[in-house]
Structure 1
Amino acid sequence: MDRTAHALTVADVATLEGLHLAVEHAGSRMDATVTAPHAAEIGLPGQWLQGGEIVMTSGAVLGADPEPWANYVSALAAHGAVGLILGTGPQAPLREIPGFLVDLAREHDLPLLSAPAFTPFTKITRTVIAKQVAAERVALQDSFALQVRLTRIVARGGTVDALLQEWQRSTGESAGVFDRVGRLLGKNTGLHASSAEATGDHVRADPPALGHTRRVSVDGSSLALIVSPFAGETTVRGYIARSDSGLAMADLAVPTLLSLLALEFERRWFLDEPERRRRAQHVARLLSTEDDARARAFLRGLNINAPTLWGVVVEAKSQTHAEVLLDDLAVVLGSPLLRVSERLVEGLATQDPKRLLQEYGLDTPVGIGTALPPGNAARTLRQARAALETSRRIGSLVGFVDGSAHDFLLHVADSQYLTAFADAVLAPIDALPNGDVLLTTLHTWLIENRSIEACAVRLGVHRHTIRNRVLRLTQVTGRSLDSVDTQTELWLALKARGFRD
């Protein structure tokens, strides 16, 4: 590191030149950051504190009685003060630090300093503020120089590893960069392989939301996971995990580091464009092949040995999101057979994608086709597109149910909507005294392909009884039971009501 400018601590204040402060009790918080010096000659100063202040008092209001001092120190600790400076001397209310005050400081783990009579609080205030301003100036200068060096590395085509190595040299922080599915894309020598692996697992299991920083304990050290947004948009591009050096210059330079990483991700996207075009061509060729043997031979040429394929269609939130999902899904599904068009990512999975997509945690419409031989790739993708339409409406992942359209519709529809639909369609029949018998007859009649004789045999009644009941159903519903639309509507209503074959 070139310099080690950091935020002013209580220990720094205690050693400021010209103040002649003495440490009466250090405790464990001498390294706490001082946000501001604050003189408080009142009994209960807590309401005037915001946290991080080093408080100065002469004790004029408190006197020599331990009880008001106990309330005073307790209020300081409760409201985030990081230290107390007591002015002492011949003209001060207290000539020296009383023993009970040291005991109170020890009880609340609050650093206690004493200031001699010739060091007024105004001098302490001016000196502390001047030191803070100088430290901030150094941090800004160091941060600007670091940002220039980082930008130069990216502009000259440097790798992510080179970028992070310069970050370590300048800040002392170990760091690693991960993609959205937790794969390590680069790191500096400070981040051990085991730490990188554990951090990647954390990213996969619980990725931080955009704009949020999360601290996680990895191999006994604390790493801050910082979400890296893509070029000012709302789509997460990746994550950086870095140790916290406490340097102000590092915190000031982090936004530039994140922007450069997002820019690097964008550069990689354009460099990978030829490969994405080849993948899209592979998908198009497979969809145009209806001969299963030829389709399997084509897949073997791509080193893919899959007896069945599943169509997958995902609707992204934006075109940028679609570009990111394309790379993510290639890893999550373990399949290169993917392509992107506007906001849609579609392709063919070589293993059942439902569990994989659920674990990945998509919150966008997703349609999945049925498992079919490679020669039927076009069909399973059409099924996925049909399922996507339903997924848009119900807001969850939908898998197509082949060969049972009614069950498919009932599976994906909202339960409250189905109940209301069935009640509305079957209400005229429900209102009759023998409504249950008529519903059973209607269901059986439809199962038996509208055969009076077959329905009578199954129910064990005379065929004339069935004929009379069908006539009664026609009268009650006011609709012709010969109509396909009527039959479909009644069948769906019966299914929704719970009737099964």
Structure 2
Amino acid sequence: MPLTVADLLALRDLRLTLIAGEGGRDRVIEAAHVSELARPGEWLHGGELLMTAGVVLPTDRRSCRGFVGDVVEGGAAALAFGVGHGQPHREPPRELVAAAEAAGLPLLVVPDEVPFIAVTKAVFAALAAEDRRALEHTVDVQRRLTVAATSGGGLNAILKVWLHATGRAAVVTDLLGRELVAVGESAPALLAAGRTVLDEVGGRGLLGSASVAVNGLTVAVRPIGARRLRGHVLLARPPQPQPGTLDAALVSLLTLELERRHLADEPRRRAGAEALARLLDGLPDDKAESLLDTFRLASPSVRGLAVVAGVGEADDLAADLALVLPGGLVRWSEDTVEALVVDEVDVIALLDRFAPQRPAGVGAALRPGSAAVSLRQARALLATSARLGRPAEAGEHSPSRLLLTLGPPELLASFADTVLAPVDAADQRGQLLATLRAWLDANSAWDVTAQRLGVHRHTVRNRIDRIEQLTGRTLTTASARYELWLALEARDALAYVETGRVGAPDSSPRPH
């Protein structure tokens, strides 16, 4: 326990007496300091027992209040006043006693026969004894935690010892913030508070840690893992300061346990990779669904996922995805990780967490028997994702536009401008291009186009005639229509690459 004013008063050899600030008996003393300055506050760090004989202290009310106020502002735990023969004062000045009482500052009287150095030695001897007890306690807790870690009881055994030894609630979570083990009555509140920062902290990997206060509960969030993040431990702040080595010891042992789990999980990951290979080789729907059932996946459709990992990271990324994805159907080869995901998985959020800024493709949702098709789509989208700088999903844009994104942007722009520049020059409001897009999408049907644009069919005809005159192309031929359509698609692809939107502003229908 830390040294308090009451503990110091209990040391009989010092014969100290408390004459003011009775309510401060529980104040913690962290050091002892002697000063005869009129304003010693700026030299204090906080928590000191400040000793003085009042050599330069005036005894009037204003001066005593100013002195006590300065000591309190400096953070002193208590004030000790030396009196007796050879001292400036035979007893503490009454105004000093009154000022200390008014400020709630414990005021101790040091008798003549007790030198300040004796008080100083006693304080530091008590502090050294407390440090020794804290060290012994830390060593004992570390030993008990180590015994628990080697007992085969896993995370639960380690945290039970932790709670018994420290009284602090703790929660261990996996990579997605899901609870693995929890101890202590405040564990549910601990997890709720920690989840407010887990996503942000997890995004920084093993370098991510935080301390958050929610509803009066302070929670420390620490990463667990050796070379790669495996989870987090959430710890309640101790009621009294404790050596940081205790938290570090717990994190180290939890890391060993989660790494052991990771290695023990290798057969399951291998089984998932083999099952994925069987699905990709081609299985009838009934057999594919039966295979998914063995991995506890009951979904009418699956999506292929392909990710290009960083150099030397494919194995670890595959292991992370196998842990967090339902079923764990994941495999890797060279620098590419492939997986099957079910509909309820937020793939984009998953990639943002585990493979940020990495090229990734997501195939269409298809029947389990067509998993190979979806995964081929995902692999084909990797080049597009690399150019876009974000994951590319099948179905979010047309296949033709997907192919166009693979071409150099300057080439697309040159082609589109060559075909559409005459229309751009004469069509400041963009009505001609909007009409052309709607007409082509309607398979050249006049009435359908007019209805979609909200104009008369003759207006549509007039605009298409105008486009023919400007471009020199006869739109009754399929080749001319295709060329104009391809130019519009090229502009849409450019807009998609630059802004992530499908559809360029100047080629979309406008209200009329």
Contact 1:64 1:94 in 2 (8 A): no
The 5 Å alignment of 1:226-375 reads 226-231=221-226, 233=227, 235=229, 237-242=231-236, 244=238, 246=240, 248=242, 251-289=244-282, 291-313=284-306, 318=313, 322=317, 325-326=320-321, 329-330=324-325, 334-339=326-331, 346-354=338-346, 357=349, 364-365=356-357, 367-375=361-369
Contact 2:159 2:182 in 1 (8 A): yes
The count of aligned residue pairs is 474
Contact 2:177 2:231 in 1 (8 A): no
What's the TM-score once normalised by structure 1's chain length?
0.76
SS in 2 for 1:18: helix
Match of 1:202 in 2: 193
Judged with a 3 Å threshold, the aligned counterparts in structure 2 of structure 1 residues 256 and 198 are, in CA distance, closer, same or farther, namely same
Match status 1:377 vs 2:371:
yes
Q: CA deviation at 1:265?
A: 0.7
SS in 2 for 1:371: coil
The 5 Å alignment of 1:382-421 reads 382-385=376-379, 399-401=393-395, 404-405=398-399
Amino acid at match of 2:188: E
Which stretch shows the higher mean deviation, 149-158 or 400-409? 400-409
Judged with a 3 Å threshold, the aligned counterparts in structure 2 of structure 1 residues 165 and 293 are, in CA distance, closer, same or farther, namely closer
Following the alignment from structure 1 to structure 2, what is the Cα–Cα distance between the partners of residues 387 and 448?
A: 28
Match of 1:460 in 2: 461
Following the alignment from structure 1 to structure 2, what is the Cα–Cα distance between the partners of residues 340 and 234?
A: 17
Following the alignment from structure 2 to structure 1, what is the Cα–Cα distance between the partners of residues 330 and 473?
A: 55
Q: CA deviation at 1:142?
A: 3.5
Following the alignment from structure 2 to structure 1, what is the Cα–Cα distance between the partners of residues 99 and 400?
A: 76
Match of 1:414 in 2: none
Match of 1:95 in 2: 90
Match of 1:470 in 2: 471
In structure 2, runs of 5+ residues without a counterpart are 202-206, 450-456, 475-480, 496-502
Match of 1:3 in 2: none
Amino acid at match of 1:265: L
- Residue 500 of structure 1, aligned match among 503, 508, 512: 508
Q: CA offsets per residue over residues 376-411 of structure 1, 9 Å max, x none?
A: 222333444556666666666654425624777999
Q: CA deviation at 1:295?
A: 1.9
Which stretch shows the higher mean deviation, 464-473 or 73-82? 464-473
Q: CA deviation at 1:179?
A: 2.9
Match status 1:212 vs 2:209:
yes
Judged with a 3 Å threshold, the aligned counterparts in structure 2 of structure 1 residues 96 and 238 are, in CA distance, closer, same or farther, namely same
Q: CA offsets per residue over residues 161-199 of structure 1, 9 Å max, x none?
A: 3323333444444544333444443455xx13xx33333
Match of 2:63 in 1: 68
Q: CA offsets per residue over residues 255-297 of structure 1, 9 Å max, x none?
A: 1221111011101111111112112222222233253333223
Match status 1:46 vs 2:37:
no
Q: CA deviation at 1:116?
A: 1.9
Considering only aligned residues, what root-mean-square deviation do their CA atoms show, in Å? 4.6
Following the alignment from structure 1 to structure 2, what is the Cα–Cα distance between the partners of residues 385 and 78?
A: 66
Following the alignment from structure 1 to structure 2, what is the Cα–Cα distance between the partners of residues 102 and 344?
A: 77
Contact 1:176 1:240 in 2 (8 A): yes
Contact 1:292 1:373 in 2 (8 A): yes
Following the alignment from structure 1 to structure 2, what is the Cα–Cα distance between the partners of residues 100 and 391?
A: 78
Following the alignment from structure 2 to structure 1, what is the Cα–Cα distance between the partners of residues 315 and 21?
A: 53
Following the alignment from structure 2 to structure 1, what is the Cα–Cα distance between the partners of residues 108 and 467?
A: 100
SS in 2 for 1:281: helix
Judged with a 3 Å threshold, the aligned counterparts in structure 2 of structure 1 residues 375 and 472 are, in CA distance, closer, same or farther, namely closer
Q: CA deviation at 1:500?
A: 2.3
Match status 1:128 vs 2:114:
no
SS in 1 for 2:125: helix
Match of 2:499 in 1: none
Amino acid at match of 2:261: R
Match of 2:498 in 1: none
What's the TM-score once normalised by structure 2's chain length?
0.74
In structure 1, runs of 5+ residues without a counterpart are 1-5, 412-416, 474-479
Q: CA deviation at 1:298?
A: 2.6
Q: CA deviation at 1:239?
A: 0.6
Identity %: 31
Q: CA offsets per residue over residues 419-452 of structure 1, 9 Å max, x none?
A: x979x94895587355546645764675577999
Judged with a 3 Å threshold, the aligned counterparts in structure 2 of structure 1 residues 132 and 282 are, in CA distance, closer, same or farther, namely same
SS in 1 for 2:56: coil
Amino acid at match of 1:461: N
